[in-house]
Amino acid sequence: MKRLIQTRWIPAWAVLFFIFRSLFDCVLEYILINRELVPTYIDAMVNHYKTRPYNPEYVCMAKHIGYNMCHYYAVYIPIDTVFPLIYSCLFLSIASFTKWKWFRILTVIIAAGAAFDYAENISFSVFLGTAGDGLAGFIAVITLIKSVLFVVNAALAVVILSYVFIGKIVSYYRES
């Protein structure tokens, strides 16, 4: 694993990240049935629906009238199973610019984000296949936590990259 999270792999992980983000957009029409009531995946909407921080009602609505379950299991789940691994490797590669102490802290935050993403995938997959709506609140909370961790990881990646590039520019001008 250590070989996959070196700084030299950042461009490859970034390309894969954007390819998979594009794949999500490509399969949207195939996965969702009623785009007027459920315009996008629960990941994107559960945090914005009716300005509530999380919304189990939206998760229930997505289950009952939004998702084509067969297409979801066949197309979306394989993509969303690989995606956390890709963005975790990207964030860890960027985090490898930091000192060991900070890298260990960032590793925990990045791993937590991926773990919550997998928890959301598993719980929503189970939720779609069951008759009841009891998991909706849990899924909404997991999705909210996953989203917050993803934003934190992305923001930290931007800060680290900015720090590295500014440091390189400053050192270049000091040498000349």
Q: List Cα–Cα distances, 104 to 99, 107, 109, 110, 147, in angstroms.
A: 9, 5, 9, 10, 21
For residue 98, is it left (φ>0), alpha (ψ between -120 and 50) or beta? beta
Closest CA to 118 of 81, 76, 63, 91: 81
For residue 51, is it left (φ>0), alpha (ψ between -120 and 50) or beta? left
What would the two tokens of residue 112 be? 């937590």
pLDDT tens, N- to C-terminus, the chain (176 residues): 678 788 899 999 999 999 999 999 899 888 888 777 777 777 665 545 555 567 788 888 888 888 888 999 999 999 999 999 999 999 999 999 998 899 999 999 999 999 999 999 999 999 998 888 999 999 989 998 998 999 999 999 999 999 999 888 887 777 76
For the chain, the domains span: 2-175
